[in-house]
Chain A
Amino acid sequence: MKTQHAAVKRLLGLYVLGELGPEETRFVADHVPRCLSCQADLQNLLRVAQELRSVEVQVKLPPDFRKRILNEVGKAQEKIRQKPKK
């Protein structure tokens, strides 16, 4: 039981992200209803995992981003091309 508990504890983070295979998922799902400590951990982890997805905001490129990148890369290319070859 103790070994199972320790093993489940090590999987809970991946479990809430839906990252476990069917066998590991079953292993966790079998243990949790019988363990108050894991239930408490799982509840907190689930809340944060759900929030990670539900409040996800898009990161948009700042205005003129590409223009600046092309410009900066062009300047760097120019500088490197002008360097005398050894």
Chain B
Amino acid sequence: MQTRNPESKRLQGIRSKETSLAKKDDLLVKEVIRGNDAALAELIELYEEKLFCFAYRFLGCAQDAEEVVRDTFIAIWQRASEFKGDSSVRSWVYGICRNIAISKLRRKKVTTVCPVPDIVCDPSPSVNPEYQAWRNYRANLLATCIQQLPPAAREALILRVYQELAYEEIARICTCPVGTIRSRLNYAMKRLTRLVMAMDKENNLGENEP
């Protein structure tokens, strides 16, 4: 019998955790179909932050992101019985959220980023103020440039880099082949680099840390 190395043990741990979370999600959706509002509240608790982060980065506006999350959970409640288990609950939930965010983008023509300082926080508040200010400046600059990416490239970048979802799952959410997601991610990275460089040139500022 082969001895498993620590990495494969760790991956197995992650997979088994994901499996048990997926089972919990399935049970919650079944309960939502039965009209159990407590199950819906639990789904909200499980997904609110992930969906808000996705919608906020995608739309660049906290208020719009909050409306998208609200509409996503209303849609989940209304359409729970349509969930057939062909994908994971997570993919289904993200898919609904993504479609609502895209509709909002089309309706409102949101093109500018409006970061809200009190919801964006530095995970390491002990850093010195000058460095902190520089980080915030660069973070805002990146967010502004991400907003300028075409929506398809933007969602691929956010779902892969920030939400850390697998290609297969992103492909299910965006209803396109895995190869398309890879192409979009590659394009997003190249376009983002050009945008950041152009903005640095325009501001006559380098990316050098203080």
Contacts and interface: CB of A to CB of B under 8 A. Distances in A.
Contacts of A73: 40, 44, 70, 73-74, 77
B123 to A, nearest CB: 5
Contact of B188 (A13, A65, A68, A76): A13
A48 B189 contact: yes
A44 B49 CA distance: 32
A52 B56 contact: no
Interface string A37-74: 00000001101110110011111111001101110111
A66 B69 CA distance: 10
Contacts of B49: 61
A74 B119 CA distance: 25
Interface in B15-31: none
A17 interface: yes
A40 B50 CA distance: 36
Contacts of A80: 78
Given A17-B189, A66-B48, A61 B142 contact: no
Interface residues of A, number: 34
A11 B183 CA distance: 9
B9 interface: no
A19 interface: yes
Contacts of A32: none
A45 B193 contact: yes
Give the size range of B's interface with the partner: 35 or more
A62 B116 contact: yes
B145 to A, nearest CB: 9
A74 B116 CA distance: 27
Interface string A18-30: 0100000000000
A78 to B, nearest CB: 11
B101 to A, nearest CB: 14
A73 to B, nearest CB: 5
B207 interface: yes
Contacts of A77: 37, 74, 77
Interface in B48-89: 48-49, 52-53, 56-57, 62, 66, 69-70, 73-74, 77-78
Interface string B171-195: 0000000000010011111101100
B53 A62 contact: no
Interface of B: 37, 40-41, 44-45, 48-49, 52-53, 56-57, 62, 66, 69-70, 73-74, 77-78, 116, 118-123, 135-136, 138-139, 142, 160-162, 182, 185-190, 192-193, 196-197, 207
Given A60-B119, A74-B37, 8 more contacts: A13-B187, A13-B188, A16-B189, A17-B189, A51-B207, A62-B62, A62-B116, A69-B70
